[in-house]
Amino acid sequence: MKRCKVLICLLLCIIDSSVAIGYKTRNVVIVVIDGSRYSETFGDSTHRYIPFMWNKLRPLGTIYTKFYNEKMTITCSGHSTVLSGAWQKLSNDGSQRPDKPTVFEYFRKETDAPERECAVILGKDKLSILSYSKYKGYSAPFGAKVFYGNNNKDDIHTWENTKKVLTTQHPRLAIINFGQIDSKAHDKDWRGYIRAIQQVDSIVCLVWDLLQNDSFYKDVTTLFVVNDHGRHTFDFTDHGCKCEGCKHLLFMMIGPDTKAGIIDSSYRQQVDIAPTIGELLGFSTPLADGSSLFSESVKKSSSTSFFNKHPKNNEYPFITSLWPGKSVDIFFELSTSSGVSVSICNLQGKVIKSIPETYMSPGQYKKRLDLNSLSGGNYLVKLETDEFSLSNIIPVY
């Protein structure tokens, strides 16, 4: 049914089939921040390493605080999943192309767009595999042009390459890989890893400024910022498993069709990016596993619930349900006996309300905190146990 609705929407497009009715976006740029961990980006309540993204860009668009890569948390698979909207299980050496079409192929095949309108800007040379898939009927004839950098471990060189491509080629659909964070982490260089996060934070802001100061892109371009994967929760030097640290991703979108100043805590996945791009630019993504972020059918229908239902396999043992102006219910599960404390903090981390720490046996629990005394705004609900420490952002009206 989802695919039928997308196809019907395409049939309604008039004059320019590459422009979706109701959307102002004509171009899309995807920035992939390779391998930063959520706990050092949006998951850090101080946001000390990403001041530009948090203070300048976040108010301009929407961020998703529960955005996940649920499959292969490695570079080639993560990037390929972003572009195809289908979960990819690829070798990480750049020897395999995606097995489902990329947004480049969908876009070019349905709109007759030339190759010059699609760009893969590197970054890591092995990601040249992103230019097209091996899927029959799509593949190389509908691929993107690859622009290699001078140093795939230096994001400044990638930024210089990006500036050149965007200002001289003006692609309508582009992906950019910034790989220095991942490289520094694999080198076991914590300071270098943090400096690389700070550097790419400023570069992402420069990308947005470039788009807004170029007449080709200004006010008609949507910027996506996402990770391909995170890093191990307790070991920043590697990644590749299904722990929270590896799966939980930074994700932000800014553009003429994106609501400004929104912190969305609904559960979404990496495979949802490609269908969202398709909806914005007016092409279908029939082989994608995900759903458009603009699709009303996948958003929360109840105004009293802002969080995802309990995922299977008990992977995320913390859920909140909000009753606006009244209280917040906090559901959690313990696999072993543990001390438990619950608190509500402002976004700077100052505790406003709390439930005293108690010792609890294994099992499922619910705690309720009264919200009547809180003024309107966004707050952090924090759950701390001997097993884990988690938080959710809740809006209070």
Query: Torsion angle, CA of 371/373/376/379, rounded to 10 degrees?
Result: -50
* Per-residue pLDDT tens over the stretch 159-191: 999 999 999 999 999 999 999 999 999 999 999
**Rounded distance between C-alpha atoms, residue 144 and residue 133, angstroms:** 10
Alpha-carbon gap, residue 327 to 300, rounded angstroms: 19
The region that residue 126 occupies, defined by phi over 0 for left and psi between -120 and 50 for alpha, beta otherwise, is alpha
Structurally, how many domains does the chain consist of?
Answer: 2
Per-residue CA distances from 84 to 97, 274, 288, 323 (Å): 11, 6, 6, 37
pLDDT for res 13: 35
Residues 48-85 have pLDDT tens digits of: 999 999 999 999 999 999 999 999 999 999 999 999 99
Residue 384 CB partners (closer than 8 Å, separation 6+): 340, 341, 342, 343
Six-digit token string for 267? 């559960």
**Torsions phi, psi of 68, nearest 5?**
-135, 145
Residues 275 and 368 in one domain: no
Question: Is it the case that residue 316 has pLDDT exceeding 70?
Answer: no
> Is residue 383 in a domain?
yes
Domain co-membership, 192 together with 340: no
Domain CATH for 370: 2.60.40.3080
Confidence band for 387, pLDDT divided at 50, 70 and 90: low
Query: Does some domain include residue 62?
Result: yes
Same-domain check for residues 281 and 325: no
With respect to residue 19, please indicate whether it lies within any of the assigned structural domains.
Answer: no
97 and 205 fall within a common domain: yes
Torsion of CA 300, 223, 44, 79, to 10 degrees: 90
Same domain, 284 and 340: no
pLDDT of residue 359: 78
Q: Are residues 356 and 286 in the same domain?
A: no
Q: Which of 328, 333, 329, 303 has its CA nearest to residue 316?
A: 333
Confidence (pLDDT) at 21: 52
Instruction: Report if residue 6 sits inside a domain.
Output: no
Same structural domain, 284 and 341 = no
Question: Among 249, 276, 293, where does a domain finish?
Answer: 293
Verify that 69 and 217 share a domain, yes or no: yes
Per-residue pLDDT, averaged over 212-241, amounts to 97
Residues across the chain: 397
Q: 82 and 175 in contact (C-beta within 8 Å)?
A: yes
For residue 382 the two structure tokens come to 């924090």
Mark which of 293, 328, 343 sits at the end of a domain. Answer: 293
15: confidence class by pLDDT, cuts 50, 70, 90: very low
**Residue 1, domain member (yes or no):** no
Is 11 a member of any domain? no
Containing structural domain, residue 208:
27-293
Whether 364 is in a domain gets the answer yes
Regarding whether 135 and 64 lie in a shared domain, the answer is yes
What is the C-alpha to C-alpha distance for residues 233 and 38, in angstroms, rounded to an integer? 9
The 10s digit of each residue's pLDDT in 102-133 is: 999 999 999 999 999 999 999 999 999 999 99
Clarify whether residues 263 and 374 are in a common domain.
no
Give how far Cα 172 sits from Cα of 11, 19, 103, 355, Å. Answer: 21, 11, 12, 51
User: Where among 293, 310, 342 does a domain terminate?
Assistant: 293
| pLDDT confidence tier of residue 306, bands split at 50, 70 and 90 | very low
303 falls within a domain: no
328 and 259, same structural domain? no
* CATH number of residue 75's parent domain: 3.40.720.10
Examine the domain organization and report whether 324 and 175 are in the same domain: no
Share of the chain above pLDDT 90, in %: 66
